[in-house]
Amino acid sequence: MRVLGLISGTSHDGIDFAVVDFTVRDGVLHGSVGATGSTPYPAPLRARLIAALPPAALTFGAACELDTLIGQAFTEVAADVAAQAGGVDLICSHGQTVYHWVDGRQVLGTLQIGQPAWIAERTGVPVVADVRVRDVAAGGHGAPLVSMMDVMLLAGLPDRPAALNLGGIANLTVLRPRDGAGPLAYDSGPANALIDAAVVRVTGGKAGYDADGRMAAAGRVDQRLLDHLLAEPYYRLDPPKTTGKELFHAGYLERALAAVPDLPAADVVATLTALTARTVADQVRRYEVDTLVAAGGGCANATLMAMLADRLGGVRLMSAAEFGAPVDAKEAIAFALIGWHTAHGLPATVPSCTGAGAARVLGAIVPGGGPLRLPAPRATAPDVLRLGAAP
């Protein structure tokens, strides 16, 4: 089954896509990875989305418009990619998270927009959407949903491997924590969210991120600001836990900078980069991880990766690309994988990772052009995933 996965993450920089052809052989799920990439949001749409995100007040009218326009932006990508792939059997669209309703260590709700009816209408292909909220209804965080793929993809690594994603937020999947209660997955804190906010602030919006980590490389880490930021109570909560830009946003950065004023811009960016490296490395140490497999946009930030490597000591740092998942496409592949599971009637969550009471089949399914026809449900789920580039 050929599945197109689509997602825009918390950085809302663009729509990531991946076409994956899945087959099961000898109990192992093989994914042949075809086209992958990212299509930036049209600039006016991105500006409108950013202006509408918390803490902004929003009307239902504006919410309807954004749901429609984002759904249509996803549709453009879906139609192009599906046509170039010579057709797909299923699309799984994560859409755009606009609110993740967290109360301490509990998630009460989560909202992804980008109306999937537009995708189904244009492509004629069934669409799995709204994938997070079923896990929330089952008592989980609805995140990090990439954890099932991490567990399947890194299953062959011995001892204590973990996966790291450096998006707007940093999330970790620890495969075999020593307490033996099953894999853990959670957000360690910001990855790029605060770095991006600082860059937008100092460049007046001309730049959206610290390209290749050059600004951070030119600055010095300010210990006072770092200590102030590390006092954030979120870092001391036990997993499972998730966070988002509801916490780590531009206003959060403003308040921190007010406490430690008059720092040169490059020092601010260097310190925020060190904050990400430090909070990730603390978790790697906490769970005695010996191999860390990284993905996400932050992998392109050379200063962040150097600071992280520096704090990891003897931990082996690898790229998800070495496991067949290009770092910019790993989450899109994960959503293709979730779509495949849903189509086969298989749960796509790891309860110890999301904190749910039990694993659940995820999503709502929008029929394509004709009656909805799904493959026969599979009795058992493959527990190993092997990815390779399509021939």
Ligand X SMILES: Nc1ncnc2c1ncn2[C@@H]1O[C@H](COP(=O)(O)OP(=O)(O)O)[C@@H](O)[C@H]1O
Footprint of Mg ion on this chain (CB under 5 A)?
9, 11, 13
In total, the chain counts a number of residues equal to: 391
Stretch that binds ligand X, among 7-15, 122-130, 225-233, 370-378 (CB under 6 A): 7-15
Binding mask of the shown chain, residues 247 to 266, with x at each position contacting ligand X by CB under 6 A:
--------------------
Q: Residue 44, class by beta-carbon neighbours within 10 Å (0-12 exposed, 13-18 middle, 19+ buried)?
A: exposed
Cβ density class 270-284: b for 16+ within 10 Å, e for less: bbbbbbbbbbbbebb
Q: Does 383 bind ligand X (CB under 6 A)?
A: no
Shortest separation between residue 128's beta carbon and Mg ion, angstroms: 20
Of all residues in this chain, which one has the CB nearest to Mg ion in the complex?
9
CB 9 within 8 A of CB 16: yes
Stretch that binds ligand X, among 100-108, 156-164, 190-198, 276-284 (CB under 6 A): 190-198
Say which entry of Mg ion, ligand X, none residue 10 contacts (CB below 5 to 8 A, set by partner kind).
ligand X
- For ligand X, give the closer residue by CB, 136 or 169: 169
Our CA dihedral for 255, 260, 261, 264, rounded to 10 degrees, sits at: -110
- For ligand X, give the closer residue by CB, 189 or 213: 213
Residue of the chain from 74, 209, 248, 252 that contacts ligand X (CB under 6 A) = 209
Say which entry of ligand X, Mg ion, none residue 342 contacts (CB below 5 to 8 A, set by partner kind).
none
Residue of the chain from 67, 89, 187, 196 that contacts ligand X (CB under 6 A) = 196
Q: Residue 391, class by beta-carbon neighbours within 10 Å (0-12 exposed, 13-18 middle, 19+ buried)?
A: exposed
Shortest separation between residue 107's beta carbon and ligand X, angstroms: 18
Say which entry of Mg ion, ligand X, none residue 254 contacts (CB below 5 to 8 A, set by partner kind).
none
Q: Residue 112, Cα to own-chain centre: how many angstroms?
A: 13
Binding mask of the shown chain, residues 28 to 47, with x at each position contacting ligand X by CB under 6 A:
--------------------
Q: In sequence order, what DSSP letters do the residues of 20-37 get, joined into one string?
A: EEEEEETTEEEEEEEEEE
Any residues with CB less than 8 A from the CB of 318 and at least 6 apart, and which?
A: 291, 292, 293, 294
Stretch that binds ligand X, among 4-12, 153-161, 219-227, 382-390 (CB under 6 A): 4-12
Please give the C-alpha separations between residue 266 and each of 161, 170, 210, 216, 287, in angstroms, as whole numbers.
34, 22, 10, 6, 32
The secondary structure of 355-382, three-state, reads CCCCCCCCCEEECCCCCCCCCCCCCCCC
Binding mask of the shown chain, residues 312 to 351, with x at each position contacting ligand X by CB under 6 A:
-------------------x--------------------
Distance between CA atoms of 251 and 198, rounded to whole angstroms? 11
Say which entry of ligand X, Mg ion, none residue 210 contacts (CB below 5 to 8 A, set by partner kind).
ligand X
**Rule CB under 6 A: which of 48-107 touch ligand X?**
none
CB 127 within 8 A of CB 368: yes
Shortest separation between residue 186's beta carbon and ligand X, angstroms: 16
Distance between CA atoms of 151 and 7, rounded to whole angstroms? 20
3-state helix, strand, coil in the chain (%, to 5): 40, 25, 35
Say which entry of ligand X, Mg ion, none residue 159 contacts (CB below 5 to 8 A, set by partner kind).
none
Return the amino acid letter for 304: L
Binding mask of the shown chain, residues 148 to 167, with x at each position contacting ligand X by CB under 6 A:
-------------------x
Shortest separation between residue 179's beta carbon and ligand X, angstroms: 29
Selection from 183, 164, 193, 172 nearest residue 242 by Cα: 172
Residue of the chain from 71, 116, 168, 239 that contacts ligand X (CB under 6 A) = 168
Residue of the chain from 97, 123, 188, 192 that contacts ligand X (CB under 6 A) = 192
Distance between CA atoms of 15 and 71, rounded to whole angstroms? 11
Distance between CA atoms of 24 and 356, rounded to whole angstroms? 27
Any residues with CB less than 8 A from the CB of 278 and at least 6 apart, and which?
A: 226, 230, 311
- For Mg ion, give the closer residue by CB, 35 or 230: 35
Stretch that binds ligand X, among 60-68, 127-135, 296-304, 344-352 (CB under 6 A): 296-304
Residues near ligand X (CB under 6 A): 9-11, 13, 167-168, 192, 195-196, 209-213, 296-298, 300-301, 331
